[in-house]
Amino acid sequence: MRKQIITTKTQKQKWNLKKNWPLHILLLPGVIIALIFQYGPMVGLVMAFQNYKPWLGFFNSPWVGLEHFRTMLEYPDAKQVIWNTLVISVLKIIFQLLVPITFALLLNEVYKMTFKRTVQTIVYLPHFLSWVILGGILIDMLSPEGGLINNILVSVLHIDPIFFLGDNSWFRFVVIVSDIWKEFGFNTIVFLAAIASINPNMYEAALMDGANRWKQTIYITIPSMLPIIIVVGTLSLGGILNAGFDQIFNLYNPLVYQTGDIIDTYVYRVGLQNGDFSYATAVGLFRSGISLILVVCGYWLAYKIAKYRIF
């Protein structure tokens, strides 16, 4: 019986392959590109275990084992970089949940559809702008000499100009706020979709029981959104060591390395600018390994708590 079932499944797979062969061919270019640009470069990970010299190549460079990983864990700059990455990433994850959820709840209370769609479009637009453009805008706005923000602080509050992008005590704040500004509109769409899927009969029943809009939000809207909130939060764990290279690279400078330098910018500076390819590869591999573990844990938690799964 079992053999017959296996044979039937095999026949169905062959029939599906024969029927859908144009779709498989359509996937072929994407698979080839992924193999070349995603998996091919992984051969270079061997540099993390070598004292790599470009003129010697992968096969002739001396093998040093885990020496670069030990150096990374003992080097004060590397520890500070890992700490900066964790702080910035965790704060981004927290606020990229709280702000879109709050904004989605507020926007859901707007009944004029024209105004609602206009506001949603305006807050959604920054998501499509690159950090190269937004970085230039922020540098101009936050400049201590003639920047819009500092002009307001001086003329209205009568305080001295603040060097936002050159002061370690302000740089992380600027990074978090600017990231929220850019991305919360896009994340709001996810939570608005979750709100739209709530059964209207629940609100009607609550209204009949005398519940006002606040109580409906507390006891119906938020609990109904909880599964998608858990999914988004747990899946964000995979990016906890990804604090945003594009943003940091376009905003930071040597004055704020102490609080703004993250793993990606550190690897770029050490590997490409200083030419220490092996050490930079070791740091990047360490980050990727931790991220892989967190991604697996995130998917496991999403399945256990919210019954969400990809495969």
Q: What pLDDT tens digit does each residue of the chain (311 aa) get?
A: 554 444 555 666 666 667 777 877 888 888 899 888 888 888 888 888 888 887 787 778 888 888 888 888 777 777 888 888 888 988 998 898 899 999 988 888 888 888 888 888 888 888 888 899 988 888 888 888 878 888 888 888 888 888 888 888 889 999 999 999 998 888 888 888 888 888 888 888 888 888 888 888 888 888 888 888 888 887 787 777 777 888 898 888 888 888 888 888 888 888 777 778 888 888 888 888 888 887 787 778 777 776 666 65
Distance from C-alpha of 229 to C-alpha of 190, rounded to nearest angstrom:
9
Whole-number pLDDT of residue 189: 87
The backbone region for 306, taken as left when phi is positive above 0, alpha when psi lies in -120 to 50, beta otherwise, is: alpha
Contact call for residues 231 and 306 (beta carbons, < 8 A): yes
Length of the chain: 311
CA distances from 183 to 60, 92, 266 (A): 46, 10, 24
Contact call for residues 306 and 233 (beta carbons, < 8 A): no
Instruction: Look up residue 197 and give its two tokens.
Output: 């899927």
Helices and strands counted in the chain (H then E): 16, 0
Instruction: Look up residue 13 and give its two tokens.
Output: 């797979």
The predicted model scores a pTM of 0.79
Whole-number pLDDT of residue 142: 87
Contact call for residues 165 and 195 (beta carbons, < 8 A): no
Q: Where are the alpha helices (DSSP H) in the chain?
A: 2-19, 21-34, 57-60, 67-74, 76-108, 113-124, 131-142, 148-152, 168-196, 200-208, 213-216, 222-235, 245-251, 257-260, 263-268, 277-306
Whole-number pLDDT of residue 5: 46
Q: Which residues contact 197 (CB under 8 A, 6 or more apart)?
A: 224
Distance from C-alpha of 36 to C-alpha of 83, rounded to nearest angstrom:
33
The alpha-carbon radius of gyration of the chain (Å, integer) is: 25
